[in-house]
Structure 1
Amino acid sequence: MADAPHPLTIADFRAYWLSRFAGTVAISAQGIIIGWQVYGLAREQLHYSIERAASMLGLIGLVQFVPLFLLTPVVGLAADSIDRRWIVRGTTALLTLNALLLGVLTRAGHLTLPFLFLAAAFVGVARAFSGPAYSALAPNLVPRESLPTAIAISTLAWQTGTIAGPSVGGLLYAIHPDVAYATIAGLFVVALGLIFLIGPVPQPPAQADLHPLQRIADGFSYVRHNRLVLATITLDLFVVLLAGATALLPIYARDILHVGARGLGFLAAAMGIGAAAASLWFSIRPMRTNVGVKMLWAVALFAVAILTFGVSRNFALSFAALVVAGAADMVSVYVRSSLIQLHTPDAMRGRVGAVSQLTISASNELGEAESGLLASLLGPVGAVVFGGIGALVITFGWSRLFPELRRATTFDPPVNDFPAPNGVAQP
């Protein structure tokens, strides 16, 4: 492990990393612009009230989640059956065309609310296919012993792109919509070109003797029977579902902390800053021991940080609590991603990645709905405190329900510890 080459010394991984960064910046920038345009059209052309126009923003997230939910079985199978490079290339090319069309319609003044929703749904479909392919591609580009570092660096690209994207999109759109959409399309082109630089990679066996529906079922069955993979996926699902506080940030900024839109910007970036810092740390100092216990402690720290944010009335303390929450969440993401990738046979990484992607998206999207519902019943502070306490309970419960988490001392799976369905070889 100590002699493992750093992933960025490998040309194919460098191309992959830069492609993921450019694509994440582009899709995050486009997301903030689509939201701005939806809200603007609802208010100015349709004369919706502020409340009704704001509800349109919630629907944008929903129309991106629904395709992912419906396509999860298909996209996982695709990532295990088709050259993963070509899936990423195809989806990136389509995202480029989508951005160009949005730019043309914006310039011509023909942009409508239905088309923006259609474009958002299209982005959801593209992300549904590209997500499992991207995640399953990384292990094919680096030696096994370098994979945890590669995951940390890959996550750093995603986190940095997620932080930078909305700022870039908002700034460029303020200059001119043409500049914004041209830049977004250009970033997609760069991401596409970089993926074409990646040479041939190992492709899982086709398993032609199995019916496609059986292969799809095998992916879900593998997650259900591999208790360590099941534990890491479901722990993240329930903790983020309960303790996700991002949907309530506008309420905290305006009515609790009284810091206005400028303060909201800092609060919105805080968790990303913490996560990016943790990603950078793990890219330099990868975790090697007691990984399961460290994940459990990190999730508990996340819950405590969210609790602190919930009861704080001081902006500096609230900001710091969210930074800590973001860093702790990144530890959980790092351990979860590494365990899933290393405990999953290459022939199933696409299908397992699709299940993981679905739970992550579900926890984020449904978590926002849960936060809003609880806030209407308990108030925003009560909702955040309830979620933080619930996350602590879940963490303790999972540590008892899944002792495999506590026993995971390294990322390497025990030999033959998790038999794969239908004779699929262990990694």
Structure 2
Amino acid sequence: MSPTSPLQIRDFRLYWCARFFAVLATMGMVVIIGYQVYDVARADYGMSIRDGALMLGLLGAVQFVPLALLTPVAGWTADRFERRTVARIANGIDMLVALCLGLATWNEVLNLPLLFTLAAMHGVARVFVGPSMSAIAPNIVPPDLLPKAIALSSIAWQSASVAGPALGGFLYAVGAPLPYWAAAVLLALAALLLTPIRRIVPPPMQGHPHPIRQMVEGLTFVRRRRFLLGAITLDLFAVLLGGATAMLPVFARDILQVGTEGLGLMRGAPAVGAALVAGWFAWQPLKHNVGVKMLLSVAAFGALTIFFGLSTSLPLSLLILALLGAADMLSVYVRSSLVQLHTPDMMRGRVSAVSGLAISASNELGELQSGLAAALLGPVGAVVAGGAAAIGIAGAWSYLFPELRRAKTFDPPPEVLAQAVQEEKPA
């Protein structure tokens, strides 16, 4: 009897748990790294609020550099080698980063160069996890269950994103190294859970045999398909300009004055709304007018970012951030489903790497943009201006990429995938 839910498939359950533990670990690490950078800049280096905010922007930049350089390699690796193995090795590297951060915190030898270096190493590990993990899911569930699998996978990501920052903040309040020790254990568990899953060997690569050319083919594939290009770049520019996450340590320490506990709650609040939306879609998958709904969700994301920037109350800020996360989840759910279902399996690792690069660029370069904007406008002005920019991006993309507005369902026209497979065959 065919399964009616991805959770009926053992490999997917293992995959779901591995994803949950890995995200729980990394989200706890990220929130503490950001707080430590800002706190060290203010307390040990005597920087002003604006200069400390700029350090948070530079933190995003140092994480983005390895992502930008290694994304083509990571996508090619996920399409060339056994995907579970790639993900396990990357999680192992991230575990070593967590241990180094824990030891440095324990011995009270933290400084900005060390934090930036370890953050960059964390970026190296995550760039290989993303494409390999994303490419596993379509191989362990039937195509008709993939939208549900993506929603359930998003629940793993979002629920861990709720618990990770809150857990990290509270553990840090108990003992500064504890978030990193916990992260190391969770990353080891994630690697172990991937082991029993059946081997995920990618199909033979078609096209040019040279590895460099094969890496470039992922970028070329996306560039030639306006639909994929529009969907990926919509998230890239909206979050790049409109993300408020980088400024949360500033709001926690100096505006709302709620400390690491409040920072953990604020970092987790968007994931609460996102997890609720993902849970709804796992039960009732979105079926109609998916493109328009994605565009509207990005506009709502921008409006809510403005409201957050103007809030001076922690409870109100948490509510706004939860609604912001819900709007972002709708966009992520639609985009992820469209990208996976419009891409043949032989290209999924490389296309997932391109999508991952866009997400990373929007997050890490968004932190740099937020830091620079905060240095000029102040943290509140930077968040409000970013929200307005995200609204503008949603409107512009609806006209620059009319294919997005016209997307009624997730199913690609048969001729689209037929053309994609044909183009990948050697001449």
Same fold flag (TM > 0.5): yes
What code does the residue aligned with 2:198 have? G
Whether the aligned pair in 2 keeps the contact of 1:296 and 1:399 (CA below 8 Å) is yes
Aligned to 1:308: 307
What code does the residue aligned with 1:272 have? A
Q: Provide Cα deviations, 1:125-145, integer angstroms capped at 9, x if missing partner.
A: 111111111111111111101
Count of aligned positions: 420
Q: Provide Cα deviations, 1:37-86, integer angstroms capped at 9, x if missing partner.
A: 55666677xx4114466655444332221101111111111111111111
Worse overlay, 121-130 or 88-97: 88-97
What code does the residue aligned with 1:362 have? A
Aligned to 2:424: 424
**Distance (Å, rounded) in 2 between the aligned partners of 1:128 and 1:283:** 27
Segments of 5+ residues of structure 2 without an aligned counterpart are: none
Deviation at 1:370, TM superposition (A): 2.7
Matched position secondary structure for 1:411: coil
**Distance (Å, rounded) in 2 between the aligned partners of 1:38 and 1:375:** 16
Aligned to 1:154: 153
**Distance (Å, rounded) in 2 between the aligned partners of 1:354 and 1:33:** 26
Aligned to 1:336: 335
> In angstroms, what is the RMSD of aligned CA positions?
2.9
Matched ranges for 1:284-323 at <5 A: 284-312=283-311, 316-323=315-322
What code does the residue aligned with 1:92 have? N
Deviation at 1:108, TM superposition (A): 5.8
Distance 1:60 1:209, change over 3 A: closer
Deviation at 1:112, TM superposition (A): 6.3
Whether the aligned pair in 2 keeps the contact of 1:222 and 1:421 (CA below 8 Å) is no
2:111 is the counterpart of 1:123: no
Distance 1:335 1:55, change over 3 A: same
2:45 is the counterpart of 1:48: yes
Deviation at 1:174, TM superposition (A): 3.9
**Distance (Å, rounded) in 1 between the aligned partners of 2:56 and 2:300:** 31
Whether the aligned pair in 1 keeps the contact of 2:165 and 2:265 (CA below 8 Å) is no
Whether the aligned pair in 1 keeps the contact of 2:162 and 2:270 (CA below 8 Å) is no
**Distance (Å, rounded) in 2 between the aligned partners of 1:323 and 1:100:** 31
Matched ranges for 1:73-88 at <5 A: 73-88=72-87
Whether the aligned pair in 2 keeps the contact of 1:153 and 1:283 (CA below 8 Å) is yes
Deviation at 1:168, TM superposition (A): 2.0
**Distance (Å, rounded) in 1 between the aligned partners of 2:381 and 2:173:** 37
**Distance (Å, rounded) in 2 between the aligned partners of 1:384 and 1:57:** 14
2:4 is the counterpart of 1:5: yes
Whether the aligned pair in 2 keeps the contact of 1:221 and 1:421 (CA below 8 Å) is no
Aligned to 1:399: 398
Aligned to 1:167: 166
**Distance (Å, rounded) in 1 between the aligned partners of 2:388 and 2:111:** 43
Worse overlay, 329-338 or 307-316: 307-316
Aligned to 1:414: 413
Q: Provide Cα deviations, 1:182-221, integer angstroms capped at 9, x if missing partner.
A: 4322212211110001012352213385222221221111
Distance 1:233 1:202, change over 3 A: same
Distance 1:207 1:164, change over 3 A: same
Aligned to 2:189: 190
**Distance (Å, rounded) in 1 between the aligned partners of 2:263 and 2:421:** 48
What code does the residue aligned with 2:164 have? G
Matched ranges for 1:21-32 at <5 A: 21-32=20-31
What code does the residue aligned with 2:120 have? A
Q: Provide Cα deviations, 1:6-40, integer angstroms capped at 9, x if missing partner.
A: 11111001101100111111122233444455566
Segments of 5+ residues of structure 1 without an aligned counterpart are: none
**Distance (Å, rounded) in 1 between the aligned partners of 2:41 and 2:312:** 34
Deviation at 1:380, TM superposition (A): 4.8
Worse overlay, 338-347 or 98-107: 98-107
Matched ranges for 1:9-408 at <5 A: 9-35=8-34, 47-51=44-48, 56-104=55-103, 106-107=105-106, 114-176=113-175, 179-207=178-206, 210-249=209-248, 258=256, 260-261=258-259, 265-312=264-311, 316-378=315-377, 380-408=379-407
Worse overlay, 358-367 or 171-180: 171-180
What code does the residue aligned with 2:12 have? F
TM-score, scaled relative to structure 2: 0.88
**Distance (Å, rounded) in 1 between the aligned partners of 2:306 and 2:106:** 46
Whether the aligned pair in 2 keeps the contact of 1:345 and 1:424 (CA below 8 Å) is no
**Distance (Å, rounded) in 1 between the aligned partners of 2:16 and 2:34:** 27
Whether the aligned pair in 1 keeps the contact of 2:54 and 2:372 (CA below 8 Å) is no
Worse overlay, 328-337 or 98-107: 98-107
Worse overlay, 293-302 or 204-213: 204-213
Distance 1:36 1:321, change over 3 A: closer
Deviation at 1:101, TM superposition (A): 4.3
Whether the aligned pair in 2 keeps the contact of 1:291 and 1:410 (CA below 8 Å) is yes
Whether the aligned pair in 2 keeps the contact of 1:241 and 1:367 (CA below 8 Å) is yes
Whether the aligned pair in 2 keeps the contact of 1:220 and 1:352 (CA below 8 Å) is yes
Whether the aligned pair in 1 keeps the contact of 2:166 and 2:268 (CA below 8 Å) is no
**Distance (Å, rounded) in 2 between the aligned partners of 1:236 and 1:11:** 32
Q: Provide Cα deviations, 1:134-167, integer angstroms capped at 9, x if missing partner.
A: 1111111111011111111111211222222222
Whether the aligned pair in 2 keeps the contact of 1:238 and 1:363 (CA below 8 Å) is yes
Whether the aligned pair in 2 keeps the contact of 1:4 and 1:145 (CA below 8 Å) is no
**Distance (Å, rounded) in 2 between the aligned partners of 1:73 and 1:230:** 16
